[in-house]
Amino acid sequence: MRSQTELDRMLAKMTKDYATLNKKQQADAIRNIGRVKGEMSYLLADYADNDGIIDRRRISRVMRDMDGIERIIREDSSESFDKIIEDTAEWTTAKIVTALGVAWTAGFIMRTNERIATSVKNRRGSDLLQLSDRVWDLSGGMRDELTQVVRSSIIRGESVSQMIPKIRKVHDNETWKIRRLAVTEGNTAYRKGTAYNASQSGSVKWVQFHDGTCGHRDHFRHKCYELVNEDWYGQGAGIFKPSDDEILSPHPNCTSYISYVLDERYL
């Protein structure tokens, strides 16, 4: 068994490494969901004449095709965020297995990762929404924006090449939502992975909750700041059980993390 100091250092390092991995996950999600830009140009090219102009009498047919566009955004989003959650669960468990020095079989690890991913995907936020609801919101919102841009461009007699930069801008304007979801889902999977593996290990009875380093001026208003200062069990501030759901997803965009308090401290 490692010492408490060693383990603390490992978890802090792991959290830093996860922040780096999550940055890449955000960029991947933005790129994957950006596939819609190409799909939109194919669709518009289908309706355009040789000058790249779409006859306004075809507008309702173009609008009907936007159903397909929304479906593409929804599928790409859903796939991207599922992948972030699954990859994070896998990454976290692999690191924790090393940190705790547990001897788990490949099958056990696989089932563990599935459980972590499923619980993250199915959880409900304080607004009672699940990830799939957020994905529907995101894709519906993007479709609305794209529809508006295309409709007004066709009515104004603009060419497809004039529409493309506007379509790109719609995606750019939505990237903060994609980024926020990637941060929220990824970090929740990271915390859930840390907490769930702790319960499975049998050697970690308590965990220490650390607030994120979001750098917001109003950080003291965040739920994670509140939790760090709470002492539910008389074990000290920020000490929780690995099974406490409250520490898994304190608020959107939260980068808080969980470290382990080894039982030996209480022996």
Question: Side chain identity at 15, as an amino acid letter?
Answer: T
Among the listed residues 254, 258, 261, 262, the single contact to Zn ion using CB under 5 A: 254
Tokens standing for residue 55: 């006859």
Nearer to Zn ion among residue 216 and residue 265 (C-beta): 216
Whole-number minimum distance, CB 54 to Zn ion, in Å?
46
Q: With contact defined as beta carbons under 8 Å apart, do 88 and 190 qualify? A: yes
Determine the size of the site formed for Zn ion (CB under 5 A). Answer: 5
Overall size of the chain counted in residues:
267
Q: Should residue 222 be labelled a site residue for Zn ion when binding is judged by CB under 5 A?
A: yes
Stretch (H or E) spanning 239: strand 239-240
Q: With contact defined as beta carbons under 8 Å apart, do 182 and 26 qualify? A: yes
Among the listed residues 224, 227, 247, 261, the single contact to Zn ion using CB under 5 A: 224
Nearer to Zn ion among residue 146 and residue 227 (C-beta): 227
Q: Which of residues 65-84 bind Zn ion (CB under 5 A)?
A: none
Whole-number minimum distance, CB 206 to Zn ion, in Å?
20
The piece of 10-18, 94-102, 162-170, 246-254 that touches Zn ion (CB under 5 A) is: 246-254
Question: Side chain identity at 235, as an amino acid letter?
Answer: Q
Nearer to Zn ion among residue 254 and residue 262 (C-beta): 254
- Number of Cβ atoms within 10 Å of the Cβ of 174: 21
Cα separation, 49 vs 157, in Å, equals 12
**C-alpha 69: how far from its chain's center?**
22
Among the listed residues 186, 212, 238, 242, the single contact to Zn ion using CB under 5 A: 212
Nearest of 144, 133, 215 to residue 174 by alpha carbon:
144
Q: What are phi and psi of 33, to 5 degrees?
A: -70, -20
The piece of 68-76, 139-147, 209-217, 231-239 that touches Zn ion (CB under 5 A) is: 209-217
Stretch (H or E) spanning 42: helix 35-47
Residue with token string 């319960």: 199
Whole-number minimum distance, CB 255 to Zn ion, in Å?
6
Q: Should residue 183 be labelled a site residue for Zn ion when binding is judged by CB under 5 A?
A: no
Nearer to Zn ion among residue 143 and residue 192 (C-beta): 192
Whole-number minimum distance, CB 87 to Zn ion, in Å?
22
Q: Should residue 238 be labelled a site residue for Zn ion when binding is judged by CB under 5 A?
A: no
Partnered with residue 206 across adjacent β-strands are 261
Nearer to Zn ion among residue 96 and residue 254 (C-beta): 254
Cα separation, 148 vs 260, in Å, equals 51
The piece of 94-102, 126-134, 165-173, 223-231 that touches Zn ion (CB under 5 A) is: 223-231
Residue with token string 């506007």: 166
Cα separation, 227 vs 210, in Å, equals 9
Nearer to Zn ion among residue 160 and residue 224 (C-beta): 224
Residue nearest to Zn ion (CB): 224
Whole-number minimum distance, CB 225 to Zn ion, in Å?
7
Q: Which residues bind Zn ion (CB under 5 A)?
A: 212, 222, 224, 254, 256
